Amino acid sequence: MSTVWHGDLRLRPTAVDERDLISEITRDLLERGLATAPHVVAKLSRRLNGDAQTVCEVAAALTSAQRSGYRMLPLSLPLVPSISAQFDPIRLSAEEFFVLLLAALCTDDHLDTLLGASEHRVDDLIAGGLVAHLNIVHGRFAFVDVRMPIWLRHTATASERSRAHTLLAVVRNARGDQIAVQWHTARGAVQRLPHIVPALISAARELAEGGHPDWAFVVAAEAADHAIGADRDEARLIAGVAAIGAGCVEDAADWLGSLFPNGAVEHRAQALASLLIAETALQGVVPILDPTHHRPRIADAARWQAWARTAGLSSVLCAERGATSSMRAWLIELRDADLRSGADGVIRDSALALCSTLTRDVETILSPSEGPFSGGMIGALHAALDGDIESGLQLLSRAQTGRIRETDPMVAGFEYSPIVDAYLAVTEALLHFWRGDVATARDRLIAAAVDLPIGIPFAGLGATLAQRLDIAVLGTTGPLAQSLVQTLPGGSRVDRLVDNGLEAYLAGNSERAAMEMTLWHDRGAPQHPFAVPGLDEVGPVIERVCVEPRALSEARGLRRRIRSLPETSWRRECADVADAARKLRSPFARGRVEAMLGSAHLIRGDARAGRRFLRAARSLFDDAGAAAWRDAVDVRLARLHTQIEANAQIATMPIAIIHDVDPLEASRMVWAAVLTERELEVAMRVVEGSSNHEIAVELEVSVRTVEVHTGRIFKKLGVRKRVELAVLAHRTGRHT
């Protein structure tokens, strides 16, 4: 609906040079204890002229839910001290003030509308004092300072606002723009006007379907204020659906929840899927729902189709959170609903395809589908998992252009909403990460974070990706990623242990990294369904099945293999691993393998080969844009160069350097991948100089048991006697 359009709500795509400002404001808000989602910071910045102080003051006046993006921002932002200080000193006549108020409340930026309502000529505006506050170009107007409408609305009296809306309605009525007429009539009314509701509802639907959920919500909420009976339910439905489309899950839960249990049956049927999405995001689990209470009781295709969509989305929500038994139950319900709706399998097939992708728990054949979600996103994930990431990215690019308008069977009505765009953006970043293009993945995700609610898709996957990509490039998490994590819906969680481990590892503290990874392992190694490259250079060796391209699984297998290299055949096995690594197309995945190969050679005294592999890893990390990984290799190479010049004996394990760490503790970390827990305890006591008898007493076992363990340790680590084991421990510890 192009007619309902307020100056301080106009949004535009984020320019690259705007992101630094948003990042700085986000950092400032974090320091003040006002965590604000990046896309909310961007909206505030655009509506407040990019003034950091004003943004912080307004954010402080908002609720936590509004800062997090769970609730819509108010139509008129709060009047804060910095805005008052800017405009209170201005001296305006009553007439000038009213003209500016008309401009602030106008539903478009056409100069003719303003002139008609104010009964002024353009020369009057240019010649008077208004020209200092309004830019007038080519028949359009805009405020010089976009914060001024906030001051005008709050400063004007209720009667002044009502009169302004009435005059604007008269002008728009003369031009036949009935939607704008009803809007201004509603806003200027002092009592409920039910007769204007149908036009507002129609406008709200048009806005929602056109990808403008913020405005759809505003118009639908206004309609609900004036509506009675069935119209009120329909207005609440549209407001709630618009809220979920914008990612405002608390608003959606409130508006849609008000339809249960007493709303009209058709409205409840249309509301249920969106309500489940909202409640799942807020609570972290898919609400338990008895299908018999909500399943249509009549043979109505539209209701059965709505029920099929509810069942399909519920199965996907369960799959996102690993609730496979509930997912299967919903898929059974979906098959029946899809058949009864006459949907010809399109909803069923899309849900099955995504559930099978997320869990590998159901078998399905991907059927061609349409729409950005069912055709673009699901198709892209399947292509990537089949090894063709390039085709997956092409499918996403087509879905994101929006030039081809298609109805999506799974998310009909939401095709061009921010929530679906967020799913597409998170998927794109994930595919770039899988491809090994770390810098591009981070750049695309940052661009999306300042425009979209990327914390919602796939149970918070966007926040995990943001942190992991920041660490790969910066070595730590930036303010946008931190804000994403702190403003996730209550039901989403990001496990910081892996991120802590990565930061420590790249900073050279492998001991702490191993501790963090051990804690993560002890907690059951929680992770998202889609694999996000983490840390397996230190800590427990974990065998797990992840949803990722086969090449990434192979790379992780190679890294596990390097950590378990037997001393008796390590040269041959290293050569085999190096040959396999050359087939990896991801520069990031291959770089990690090359770095570990370099470490494996260094720990065994082959400095020349170790340096060669580390240099290859450095080039690969640089190509991937993983600057923090590259810098860690640089530090290792620099130290290696110094040691070679000093003619020191070189040996090392992973690429990071341990500072002020007990070398025997470092050896313990390295050997943990090869020895059993009991063997490791015996080995460390042997290195410390304890006799077999002393070890037997400490561990409360027999001397013969200690001798057996010692023999196995020598064989696994390729040494022949106790003194060689001690030398190996200290050599390993110096350069881990």
How sure is the predictor about 698, in pLDDT bands with cuts at 50, 70 and 90?
A: confident
In tens, the pLDDT along 16-41 reads 578 999 999 999 999 999 999 999 99
Find out whether 732 and 666 touch, Cβ atoms under 8 Å. yes
Q: Residue 732 corresponds to which amino acid?
A: T
Q: Among 116-120, 166-170, 501-505, 649-653, which stretch is predicted with the lowest mean pLDDT?
A: 649-653
Residues 258-292 pLDDT 10s = 999 999 999 999 999 999 999 999 998 999 989 98
pLDDT of residue 468: 97
With cut-offs at 50, 70 and 90, classify the pLDDT of residue 104.
Answer: very high
636: amino acid identity, one letter: R
Only one residue has tokens 């040494």, namely 719
Q: Quickly state the pLDDT bin for 607 (edges 50, 70, 90).
A: confident
Statement: residue 14 has pLDDT above 60? no
* Kind and range of the H or E run holding 141: strand 140-143
d(CA 511, CA 664): 11
Q: What is the structure's pLDDT at 651? A: 42
- Mean pLDDT for the stretch of residues 88-115: 94
Give the pLDDT confidence score for residue 342 in this predicted structure: 86
User: 405 pLDDT band (50/70/90 cuts)?
Assistant: confident
Token readout for 118 is: 């104010």
- Averaged confidence pLDDT in the chain: 89
Percent of the chain, pLDDT > 90? 64
Q: What is the pLDDT of residue 157?
A: 96
Q: Tell me the pLDDT band of 1, cut-offs 50, 70 and 90.
A: very low
Q: What is the separation of C-alpha 623 from the centre of its chain, rounded to a whole number of angstroms?
A: 24
Among 95-99, 112-116, 566-570, 659-663, the minimum mean pLDDT is found in: 659-663
Does position 723 have pLDDT exceeding 90, yes or no? no
Secondary structure string (H, E, C) spanning 63-128: CHHHHHCCCCCCCCCCCCHHHHHHHCCCCCCHHHHHHHHHHHHCCCCEHHHHHHHHCCCHHHHHHC
pLDDT, position 648: 43
pLDDT confidence of residue 721: 81
Rg (the chain; Cα; Å): 31
| Collapsed DSSP state (helix, strand, coil) of residue 520 | helix
Q: Mean pLDDT, to the nearest integer, of 709-714?
A: 83
pLDDT class of 6 with cuts at 50, 70, 90: very low
- If one compares 361 and 211, the residue with the highest pLDDT of the two is 211
Full DSSP string of 550-614: HHHHHHHHHHHHHHT--GGGHHHHHHHHHHHHTT---HHHHHHHHHHHHHHHHHTT-HHHHHHHH
Q: Is the pLDDT of residue 451 over 60?
A: yes
- When pLDDT is averaged across residues 689-706 and rounded to a whole number, the result is 87
Q: For residue 240, is pLDDT > 80? A: yes
Q: What is the mean pLDDT of residues 594-620?
A: 91
8 Å CB contact between 37 and 67: yes
pLDDT, position 647? 46
Q: Which amino acid is at 249?
A: V
The pLDDT score that the predictor gives to residue 660 is 44
pLDDT at 391 over 80: yes
Whether the pLDDT of residue 406 is over 50: the answer is yes
The alpha carbon torsion through 105, 59, 43, 215 (nearest 10 deg) reads -50
| 219 contacts 185 by C-beta, under 8 angstroms | no
Residue 736 Cα distances to 420, 440, 603, 694, angstroms: 45, 31, 8, 29
pLDDT in tens, 456-511: 999 999 999 999 999 999 999 999 999 999 999 876 777 799 999 999 999 988 88
Band (42; pLDDT cuts 50, 70, 90): very high
663-735: CATH architecture: Orthogonal Bundle (1.10)
- pLDDT at residue 674 tops 70: no
Most confident of 243-257, 398-412, 514-528: 243-257
Among 34-48, 317-331, 418-432, 652-666, the minimum mean pLDDT is found in 652-666
The answer, yes or no, to whether residue 672 has pLDDT greater than 70, is no
Which one is predicted more confidently, 436 or 494? 436
Residue 594 has a pLDDT of: 96
**pLDDT confidence of 66, banded at 50, 70, 90?**
very high
Most confident of 223-237, 516-530, 666-680: 223-237
pLDDT higher than 70, residue 735: no
Distance, CA of 41 to CA of 602 (rounded, Å): 48
Q: CB of 39 within 8 A of CB of 453?
A: yes
Confidence of residue 650 (pLDDT cuts 50, 70, 90): very low
Whole-model pTM: value is: 0.88
Amino acid at 350: S
pLDDT of residue 161: 96
8 Å CB contact between 106 and 7: yes
- Residue 365 confidence (pLDDT): 63
| pLDDT at residue 656, rounded to an integer | 43
Rounded to whole angstroms, the Cα distance separating 346 from 330 reads: 16
Encoded amino acid at 674, one letter: V
Who's near 586: CB < 8 A, 6+ residues apart? 434, 435, 436, 551, 552, 555, 624
- The answer on pLDDT for 436 being more than 90 is yes
Segment among 37-41, 61-65, 108-112, 450-454 with least mean pLDDT: 108-112
**Residue from 14, 18, 58, 53 nearest 36 by CA:** 58
Q: What are phi and psi of 141, to 5 degrees?
A: -135, 155
Helix (H) or strand (E) holding 72: none
Average pLDDT over residues 430-451: 97
End-to-end CA distance of the chain: 63
Secondary structure class of 367 (helix, strand, coil): coil
Q: Name which of 62, 97, 101 is nearest 78 in CA terms.
A: 62
